[in-house]
A and B are shown apart, each in its own frame.
Chain A
Amino acid sequence: MRALVIEDDKQLRQLIAGYLEGDGFVVDTAADGEQGMYMVEEFPVDVAIIDLGLPKISGIEIIRNARRKSRAFPIMILTARDGWQNKVEGLEAGADDYLVKPFHKEELLARTRALLRRSGGWSQPQLESGSFVLDTAGKVVTVDGHRVELTSFEYRVLEFLMMHAGEVVSKTTLVEHLYREDEERDSNVIEVFIRRLRAKLDPGATLNPIATLRGSGYRWNLPRG
């Protein structure tokens, strides 16, 4: 999952980015409205955390612009002005939730995860699909109640696919949303991870949870719920 953090205070920006990275996100950061506006339009983003009081271009303006450009990822506004008028304005502009400074780490992570789940069409913190259960809070995967040990990258691939259950996800998309800019990107590696995931989740090759669509990508094949 790729998160975008737009916050002008350097320390706070690094702090939030650190929280999210610790939770398995790939994080991009912007220090002002202008940079933020560009990243919102051009970067692959799964969730954005936007401060309302930004230099150059206001957070509200960035949100409006994102929605105008049909960028549909969930947006959480971060505000120091805890007046309701500000919250309403932000939500009206297209944000999905708000967080008032100062906040607790757990609250930030829980709300961010909830936003992602909601935008993926999941209503519970446990993504249940067939006999597979992915607990987004504990980052634990079980099959028929038995825990499956995954590496952190394998977990991230699985989470992304399940979040987008039913949708075709290309290898490029997976690379874009799961790798940091500075990491070496090789879409062939994705094939390796998918193979390993299949082996761990479905050792008997009977359930076929991840379908390969030749030339276009992968799809989580089981229904939600």
Chain B
Amino acid sequence: MMALRRWRAAVARRAAGMSLSARLLLAASCVLVVFMVAAAAGLEQAFIQSALQSERDRSQGLVYALLAAAESQPGAGLSVPLGALPDPRLARPQSGLEAVIFNSRGNAVWRSPNLAGPLPPVTAPSVGNSLLEQTDKRFVFSYGVRWHAEHERAHRYTVTLLEDDTAYEAQLAVYRHTLWSSLATAALTLVILQFLLLRWSLAPLRRLAAEVRRIESGDRHEIRGHYPRELTTLARNLNDLIRNGRTHLARYRNALGDLAHSLKTPLALLRALAEDEAMPEALRRRMDEPVTRIQYITDYQLRRAAAAAHGVLAAPVDIHELTDKVLSALAKVYTERHFELRNAVDEGLQFRVDEGDLYEIVGNLADNACKWARHVVMVSATRRPGTTLVVEDDGPGFPADTDRLLTRGVRADTRVAGQGIGLATVADIVLPGGGDIELGRSATLGGARVVVRWPA
């Protein structure tokens, strides 16, 4: 009982994951097979009935002819003279047609000349009735008669014809073969037609699925194709959903930006107050610590809140272009260092990562690299197999305990500015989404190397 339930659950699970076209094809094929088998069985039965009926009719005719030719010998019973046999086959041995007449006691009173050997057991039908049996590769047709001869009392006889059924069986075999092969051909044709039909009618669904996949992989912004009426609404709603998700995020970011603005301006004033030399030294020292803490906490929490989750609906971002923008901005800030800021990202490469997050990641990592590099900072990226970003420089590289630089759970207000805060920011953005950051040494430039990987 338990096993049955488990099996049914397993089947249900498998079926639940089946594609629509597979379901339709399977269901239609099952119906088709049942229908075809039932039709074949019915047709075969009808054929057999009609063949047996014609056998019965022919035999009946022959029995009548035999009776017409029969003579009654007093004391010996009914017999058919050799010269009066209605069918020449009855005289020829091995012809496949034999006849015998039984009396009421079941003894054979006459045999056709070609009939030798033991007689089959015969069920005697009542007078005026016939009986067709198929036994031992023979048709046995029996007919009951009451024979009134002159000067004698009436005798009851059974006239039996034994006919070989080889011809009948052969005919049936040919019919069966024709029937099944033509039905199978028809079924196969129907299944193929059905398959093509399904493909054609489900094509819009497949197209829609492909478009959604392309949106997921970042090749597309929205669903654009033309769809049948039933799907148009769905496609439109999907587009609305995608757009809403994006504008919602943008609105949310703007609100956070405004919040940051309105918090930080007074914070800047407080900071100034803490540095104002007109204030008593002791007060300044006491103010400095809480102001610094408020500053770090607002920075940290605002940044965390603004970091988008790794959204399926994030619009694709041209990472080469974005890197170009960040590097040319940094080139301005570090103009005196005469860096070579190398954008090694393939042109046109697209990342399906939120644009704001990408700016934050590339900006922080490249800025860090600029702080430590001697001459060269390089940004590279790949999308296959996984979405990966690499920032490396030719500076002194990371200290030995790189883990500390990324440590999460370090309280925001205890973080120190410099290398750490940029990396921690990137960690805050990448790690919650299932991504990964690896710190190491650059093989090409010899300095620090940071690899950021997003989940596939």
**B333 partner residues in chain A, CB cutoff 8 A:** 91, 96-98
Interface 1/0 per residue, A69-89 and B, CB below 8 Å = 000000000001111111110
Known contacts A85-B359, A88-B363, A123-B336; is-contact A103 B271 (Cβ 8 Å): yes
**Binary contact track B251-283/A, C-beta < 8 Å → 1, others 0:** 000000110111111111111100100000000
Q: Does B306 contact A (CB under 8 A)?
A: yes
User: Judging by beta carbons under 8 Å apart, are B326 and A84 in contact?
Assistant: yes
A9 within 8 A of B: yes
The proximity string for A residues 110-126 relative to B, scoring 1 for CB distances below 8 Å and 0 otherwise, is: 00001000100001000
Q: Does A148 contact B (CB under 8 A)?
A: no
B268–A103 touching, CB < 8 Å: yes
Residues A102 and B270 in contact, CB atoms below 8 Å apart: yes
Cross-chain contact B355 with A85 (CB below 8 angstroms): yes
8 A Cβ contacts from A51-105 to B: 53, 80-88, 91-92, 95-98, 101-105
Of chain B, the residue at the smallest CB distance from A105 is: B275
Contacts of A87 in B (CB 8 A): 329, 363
How far apart are A33's CB and chain B's nearest CB, in angstroms? 14
Q: In the complex, A88→B335 CA distance in Å?
A: 15
Using C-beta atoms within 8 Å of the partner chain, give the interface range for chain A. Answer: 20 to 34
The complex places the Cα of A83 from the Cα of B257 at a distance, in Å, of 9
Partner of B268, one of A12, A53, A118, A123: A12
B95 interfacial contact with A, CB 8 Å: no
Known: A12-B265, A80-B261, A118-B336. A104 touches B275 (CB 8 A): yes
Q: Which residues of A contact B291 (CB under 8 A)?
A: 102
Say if the beta carbon of A15 comes within 8 Å of chain B: yes
Contact in complex: B265, A83 (CB < 8 Å)? no
Interface residues of A in 1-49 (CB under 8 A from B): 9, 11-12, 15
User: When the two chains form the complex, which single residue of A83, A95, A98, A103 contacts B359, counting CB atoms closer than 8 Å?
Assistant: A83
CB-based A-B contact count at 8 angstroms: 87
Chain A residue numbers with a CB within 8 Å of B262 are 80
Contacts of B258 in A (CB 8 A): 53
A101-B363 in contact given A83-B257, A84-B326 (Cβ < 8 Å): no
Distance in angstroms from B192 CB to nearest chain A CB is: 56
- Contacts known (A84-B359, A88-B326); A97 close to B336, Cβ less than 8 A: no
**In the bound complex, CA of A87 to CA of B258 (Å):** 16
Which of chain A's residues has its CB closest to B330's CB?
A91
Provide the residues of chain A in CB contact with B299, threshold 8 Å.
82
Chain A residues lying within 8 Å of B265, measured Cβ to Cβ, are 9, 12, 80, 101
- Please determine whether A102 and B359 come into contact, CB atoms closer than 8 angstroms: no
Nearest-CB distance from A10 to chain B (Å)? 10
Asked if B271 and A11 make an inter-chain contact with CB atoms under 8 angstroms apart, the answer reads no
Bound-state CA distance A166–B109 (Å) is 152
CB pair B270–A85 under 8 Å, yes or no, is no
* Contact status B329-A91, CB under 8 Å: yes
Contact A81 B329 (CB under 8 A): no
Q: How large is the interface on B (under 10, 10 to 19, 20 to 34, 35 or more residues)?
A: 35 or more
* B335 and A118 contact, CB distance less than 8 A: yes
Are B363 and A91 touching (Cβ within 8 A)?
Answer: no
Nearest chain B CB to A187 CB, angstrom units: 35
Would you call B219 an interface residue if the criterion is a C-beta within 8 Å of the partner chain's C-beta atoms? no
CB of B271 within 8 A of CB of A81, answer no
Instruction: Give bound CA distance, A112 to B291, whole Å.
Output: 24
Given A53-B261, A97-B332, A97-B333, decide whether A84 and B272 contact each other with a Cβ distance below 8 A: no
Q: Residue B362 at the A interface, CB < 8 A?
A: yes
Q: CA separation between A146 and B291, bound complex, in Å?
A: 43
Decide: A83 and B360 in contact? CB cutoff 8 A.
yes
Q: Report how far A60 CA is from B359 CA in the complex, Å.
A: 18
Q: How far is the CB of A115 from chain B (nearest CB, A)?
A: 10
How far is B411's CA from A141's CA once the two chains are assembled, in angstroms?
47
- A103 contact set on B, CB distance < 8 A: 268, 271
- Given the complex of chains A and B, what is the CA–CA distance between A123 and B335 in angstroms? 10
Cβ contacts under 8 Å, A102 to chain B: 264, 267-272, 291, 295
Q: Cβ of B257 and Cβ of A88 under 8 Å apart?
A: no
Contact: A92 with B295, CB < 8 Å? no
Q: Once bound together, how far apart are the Cα atoms of A15 and B276, in whole Å?
A: 10
**Which of A9, A80, A87, A104 has the most chain B CB atoms closer than 10 A to its own CB?**
A80
Does B363 lie within 8 Å of A81, measured CB to CB? no
CB distance from A174 to the nearest CB of B (A): 27
What is the chain A residue whose CB lies nearest that of B360? A84
How far is the CB of B34 from the nearest CB of chain A, in Å? 64
Q: Are A84 and B260 in contact (CB under 8 A)?
A: no
> Taking A15-B272, A105-B272 as contacts, is the C-beta distance between A83 and B264 under 8 angstroms?
no
Q: Which residues of A contact B267 (CB under 8 A)?
A: 101-102
Asked if B356 lies at the interface with its beta carbon under 8 angstroms from chain A, I say yes
| In the bound complex, CA of A118 to CA of B329 (Å) | 16
Q: Given the known inter-chain contacts A101-B264, A118-B335, A118-B336, please indicate yes or no for A11 contacting B329, CB distance below 8 A.
A: no
B residues near A101, Cβ cutoff 8 Å? 264-265, 267-268
B328 within 8 A of A: yes
Closest to B291 in A: A102
Shortest distance from the beta carbon of A5 to any chain B beta carbon, whole Å: 13
Chain B, residue nearest A99 (CB): B268
Cβ-based interface call for B368 (8 A) = no
Q: List chain A residues, Cβ under 8 A from B383.
A: none
**Closest-CB distance, A90 to chain B (whole angstroms):** 8
Interface residue? B343 (CB, 8 A): no
> In the complex, what residues of B have CB within 8 A of residue A86's CB?
257
Q: CB within 8 Å of B: which residues of A? A: 9, 11-12, 15, 53, 80-88, 91-92, 95-98, 101-105, 114, 118, 123
Residues in B lying within 8 Å of A, measured CB to CB? 257-258, 260-272, 275, 291, 295, 299, 303, 306, 325-326, 328-329, 332-333, 335-336, 355-356, 359-360, 362-364
Complex A-B, nearest 6 residue pairs according to Cβ-Cβ distance, in ascending order: A84-B363, A102-B268, A80-B264, A91-B329, A80-B261, A85-B359
13 A-B contact pairs sorted by A residue (CB < 8 Å) = A9-B265, A12-B272, A53-B257, A80-B257, A83-B359, A83-B360, A84-B364, A85-B356, A88-B363, A91-B328, A91-B332, A102-B295, A105-B275
